[in-house]
Amino acid sequence: MHYETLEARFSKINDLNHALAMLQWDDAAVMPSGGGVARAEAVATLNGLIHDQLSTPEVAELIQATADEPLDAWQRANVLEMKRSFDTAMAVPVDLVTAYSKATSICEQTWRRLRAANDFKGVLSLLSEVVNLTRRRAQCLAEAKGLGHYDALLDTYEPGLRQTDVDPLFSSLSDFLPECIDSILARQQPVIPIDGPFTERRQANLGRLMMARLGFDFDHGRLDVSHHPFCGGVPDDTRITTRYNESNFLESLFGVLHETGHALYEQGLPSTWRNQPVGSSGGMALHESQSLFMEMQVCRSPAFIAFAAPHIRDAFGGDNESEKWSVDNLLRHVRKVGRGFIRVDADEATYPLHVILRYELEKALVAGDLDSADVPDAWDEKMRSHLGLSTTGNDADGCMQDVHWFSGAIGYFPTYTLGALAAAQLFQSATESIDDLPDSIALGEFGALVGWLRREVHSQGRLLATGPLIEKITGRPLGTEAFRVHLQDRYLD
């Protein structure tokens, strides 16, 4: 069968993607800075080879030929994913693929160094190059797919997602969030500070303990340290990272819980489809729904904090009797809401405003309405209008805070907030489906919950796109209602 020939070729491409994923983990977690130039070359060559493996007439012919073959639903979905990869590869010339790969590698490496120095000017020419190459890429993809330029980029991160899907969701959020945040702030109770220092080793031990309790398989994964936390690697070897702040263990702990949500998804992908496109994780909105399901919906709940509090006290020698280490105070800490400058430190209520800010700016960047040099000023202006915060004059905590644009991930940000909406909607369904869910969570029993995720989401691979999958599981299209109700329940009732 032609189908089998296709599977063999995509298995090979999967192996090259394995190499890329590991090199990217290595780059972020362990590579000495002097290795960066050679690494950027190697990654570009691998990207070029993947492109070569995909963009041959033979692949088109094979895909065509499978039309008459008796395939089951998974195989058919697999061919659809192959076709998507093929179309994307054919749309972009290989020279642009390798130029983009090299430019983004070098720009990201430089950003890592210059963010610490608050030096936007130093990285500007590299960022401009990345933005220009992204525009060219967007143009190629847009022409081939018959989409707008920004839509063509969105589509690479979340297949099928369009601005026309994003806009009404973001507009609904913009409508109710500002008032909702004001109400939360008005009734928020003060926290008792929990002072450090909390050593890296103790934080790492606590993180590993929680990962294991949630179901992370350490025989198929690791926890390490990187500048910008992420979940990488491959399903059989899923690598998550965090960074430690010795004066605040909650930052790293909830970072780890977040990445564990991503990792459980990767580790739970269908093993029979391991090396095929249909067996890989869905779009980034769905991926983010899995991390936020864990971090926001599960782990910031009273039930989870009741379970975790003794472990947290154990880890840091906290006093059982002290109000500081009480479930109540911990809960107030992990539910603190406030308008701040940093997206990754933001609470779930203000987070969407950070994303909307970036969404508006990156659309303008792609359209050519915003020049890279003007990003710092535009950033400050949006920070004022969306979050009511005046500039810090500090680009490190402004437009340089995120790796995304510097690494070429333009069109990615909206998936964070779509993920948050999906997480709320999925958690509502899980709560309806699983008996006594909060009680199990309070006992540290996550088997039923993770089992539900495995069955409904993880094991589905790319059989369905994110939209239809969410609708199938929750009975309705992705919307803002579950998220609104969640905020109301958690913070205002």
**Which residues make up the interface to a copy of itself (CB under 8 A)?**
11-12, 15-16, 18-19, 22-23, 26, 30-35, 37-39, 41-42, 44-46, 48-49, 217-222, 233-237, 274-275
Cβ contact 45:98 at 8 Å: yes
By beta-carbon proximity to a copy of itself, the closer residue of 42 and 389 is: 42
Shortest spacing between CB 12 and a copy of itself, in angstroms: 5
By beta-carbon proximity to a copy of itself, the closer residue of 238 and 417 is: 238
CA–CA dist 323, 342 (Å, integer)? 29
CA–CA dist 121, 330 (Å, integer)? 41
Shortest spacing between CB 260 and a copy of itself, in angstroms: 15
DSSP E strands in 187-265: the ranges are 221-225, 231-234, 237-242
Shortest spacing between CB 174 and a copy of itself, in angstroms: 43
Cβ contact 290:271 at 8 Å: no
By beta-carbon proximity to a copy of itself, the closer residue of 2 and 220 is: 220
Torsion sign (Cα): 393, 352, 345, 319: positive
What backbone torsions phi and psi does residue 441 show, to the nearest 5 degrees? -60, -45
Cβ contact 288:415 at 8 Å: yes
By beta-carbon proximity to a copy of itself, the closer residue of 48 and 178 is: 48
Q: Which one-letter amino acid corresponds to residue 415? A: T
CA–CA dist 194, 117 (Å, integer)? 30
Shortest spacing between CB 89 and a copy of itself, in angstroms: 17
By beta-carbon proximity to a copy of itself, the closer residue of 11 and 320 is: 11
Q: Which two tokens stand for residue 59?
A: 């692949």
Shortest spacing between CB 235 and a copy of itself, in angstroms: 8
> Omega before 438 cis (within 30°)?
no
Shortest spacing between CB 9 and a copy of itself, in angstroms: 11
Q: Which one-letter amino acid corresponds to residue 189? A: Q
CA–CA dist 232, 22 (Å, integer)? 8
First to last CA, the chain: 60
By beta-carbon proximity to a copy of itself, the closer residue of 112 and 354 is: 112
199-206, Cβ contacts within 8 angstroms, sequence gap of 24 or more: 199/246, 200/244, 200/246, 202/249, 202/315, 202/316, 203/244, 203/249, 203/252, 203/253, 203/315, 204/244, 205/315, 206/249, 206/253, 206/311, 206/312, 206/315, 206/316
- Catalytic residue of the set 7, 108, 129, 259: 259
CA–CA dist 247, 256 (Å, integer)? 16
Shortest spacing between CB 50 and a copy of itself, in angstroms: 11
* Catalytic residue status for 179: no
By beta-carbon proximity to a copy of itself, the closer residue of 274 and 324 is: 274
Q: Which of the residues are catalytic?
A: 259
